[in-house]
Amino acid sequence: MARIVAVTNQKGGVGKTTTCVNLAASLAATRRNVLLVDMDPQGNATMGSGIDKNAQAHNGYDLLTRKAEAATVVVPAGEAGFDLIPGNGDLTAAEVELMNEIGREHRLRLALKTIRERYDFILIDCPPSLNLLTVNALAAADSVLIPMQCEYYALEGLAALMNTIEQIQETVNPALELEGILRTMYDPRNSLTLDVSGQLKEFFGDKVYSAVIPRNVRLAEAPSYGLPALKYDRQSKGALAYLALAGEIVRKTGIGKRSRAVTA
């Protein structure tokens, strides 16, 4: 049964999508079955996984509006080694259509239920705001992974995010946990980075991953080839950092290799 992890942060440009695509590929490289769900209307995770966001028969819109079953919406992300539920601008239309529907926060959770058994990990890429798409992701998730840049306002943003998580726990998902905090675009030569990093560890202890993601141009280039860094430049610092993160997550969650391999 998959562990469902929402990758979220209200702030844009902190590395949510980069983390989703590269962590999905890295977990797949450790022989876990992985599904990536793109809940951002920008569809960057979809394009970054090598899937044309506007050329698919179905996408997340069909799930949220119950026009298609999850199993028919899933596409293999080819070389990247994981499965994908694509997303594009249609997701914005789903938000509008669901406006007056009862239980609109639970559409994604219910849709994923039908395919959850097939995977070890399901990652959900969230848009950079607290809209109905994000609430659907947080309602469906077991836990939240927060990528953040260690900069001056980061801690303030994090406080707001913790507040949001509390509100979700009080309403649609009491079981929601903090999976971990990931330091992205990390530059140890910058004293502010080290300062913020230290404060993070003080507040969140071992919820802060030991693996850090450095600023690495390969991570920024790979999406234009529709590839995770691992398939674009395997030896790059970015690819190796996400492999280290995957290793840490696998150890912490204790989620084994794909069940087929285990029973064989």
Residues that bind ligand ADP (CB under 6 A): 12-18, 44, 128, 184-185, 213, 215-216, 219-220, 223, 238
**Residues whose CB falls within 8 Å of the CB of residue 228, separated by 6 or more in sequence, listed in order:** 21, 22, 24, 25, 26, 48, 49, 80, 222, 239, 242
In one letter, which amino acid is 169? Answer: Q
Which of 16, 32, 58, 183 is in the footprint of Mg ion by CB under 5 A? 16
Which strand (E) or helix (H) includes residue 27? helix 16-29
From Mg ion, ligand ADP, none, interface partner of 15 (C-beta below 5 to 8 A by class): ligand ADP
CB-nearer residue toward ligand ADP: 25 or 115: 25
With CA atoms as reference, report the closest residue to 22 among 141, 112, 145: 145
- Give the full edge-to-edge strand order of the sheet including 143-149: 75-76, 83-85, 34-38, 121-125, 3-7, 143-149, 177-184
In one letter, which amino acid is 174? Answer: P
Identify which range of 42-50, 172-180, 200-208, 228-236 contacts Mg ion by CB under 5 A.
42-50
Minimum Å gap between C-beta 187 and ligand ADP is 10
CB-nearer residue toward ligand ADP: 97 or 187: 187
Q: Is 17 in the site for Mg ion (CB under 5 A)?
A: yes
Minimum Å gap between C-beta 44 and Mg ion is 5
From ligand ADP, Mg ion, none, interface partner of 78 (C-beta below 5 to 8 A by class): none
